[in-house]
Chain A
Amino acid sequence: MLRLLSILAVLCLCIPAYATESSAVPKLDIGKGGECVKEPQWMRKNHMHLLTHQRDEVVHKGIRDEKISLKNCIECHASTKDDSVIARDDSFCVACHRYEAVKLDCFECHSGERKSAWLKRNSK
Chain B
Amino acid sequence: MSEINVQRRQFLKMSMGVAAVAIAPGVFLFDMAHGKADANKVRWGMLIETANCAEGCNDCVTACNTENGLSGGVSSTDSQWIRKIEIKDISTGRETSLPMMCQHCEHPPCVDVCPTGASFKRADGIVLVDKHLCIGCRYCIMACPYKARSFVHEPLQNQNPDVPRGKGTVESCTMCVHRIDQGKQPACAEACPNKSILFGNLNDPDSEIATRIRTVASAQVRADLGLNPGVRYQGL
Interface residues in A59-81 (C-beta closer than 8 Å to B) = 59-62, 64, 71, 74
Mind listing 30 A-B residue pairs with CB under 8 Å?
A59-B128, A59-B130, A59-B132, A60-B120, A60-B122, A61-B34, A61-B35, A61-B122, A62-B122, A62-B124, A62-B181, A71-B161, A71-B162, A74-B161, A108-B166, A108-B167, A109-B131, A109-B156, A109-B166, A110-B159, A110-B161, A110-B164, A111-B158, A111-B159, A111-B161, A113-B158, A113-B161, A115-B161, A115-B162, A118-B161
The total of chain A residues at the interface (CB under 8 A) is 17
CB within 8 Å of A: which of B137-168?
A: 155-156, 158-162, 164-167
Interface digits, B105-131 against A, CB 8 Å rule (1 contact, 0 not)?
000000000000000101110001011
Q: Is the CB of B165 within 8 A of A109?
A: yes
Query: CA A108 – CA B160 in complex, angstroms?
Result: 13
Complex Cα–Cα for A73 and B162 (A): 13
Are A111 and B160 in contact (CB-based, < 8 A)? Answer: yes
A71–B130 Cα distance when bound, in Å, is 17
Question: What 6 pairs between A and B have smallest CB-CB spacing?
Answer: A109-B166, A109-B164, A111-B161, A115-B161, A110-B164, A108-B166
The contact size tier of chain B is: 20 to 34
Min CB gap A110→B, angstroms: 5
Cβ–Cβ < 8 Å partners of A61 in chain B: 34-35, 122-123
Confirm or deny: A47 has a beta carbon within 8 angstroms of a beta carbon on chain B: no
In the complex, A64 Cα to B34 Cα: how many Å? Answer: 16
B120 touches A64 (CB 8 A): no
- 8 Å CB interface, A91-124 against B: 108-111, 113-115, 118, 122
Query: In the assembled complex, how far is the CB of residue B81 from the closest CB belonging to chain A, in whole angstroms?
Result: 16
Nearest B residue (CB) for A105: B166
Q: B residues 154-202 with Cβ under 8 Å of A? A: 155-156, 158-162, 164-167, 169, 177, 181
A55 and B160 CA atoms in complex are apart in Å by: 17
B164 contacts across to A, CB distance below 8 A: 109-111
Which residues of chain B are within 8 angstroms of A71 by Cβ–Cβ distance?
161-162
A48 to chain B, nearest CB (A): 13
Q: Is the CB of A109 within 8 A of B159?
A: yes
Contacts of A62 in B (CB 8 A): 122, 124, 177, 181
Measured between C-beta atoms, what is the minimum distance from B143 to chain A in Å?
20
Beta-carbon contacts under 8 Å, B7-58 to A? 34-35
Q: How far is the CA of A62 from the CA of B179 in the complex (A)?
A: 11
A62 and B125 CA atoms in complex are apart in Å by 12
Within the assembled complex, what's the spacing in Å between the Cα atoms of A59 and B127?
11
A108 and B122 in contact, given A60-B34, A118-B161 (Cβ under 8 angstroms)? no
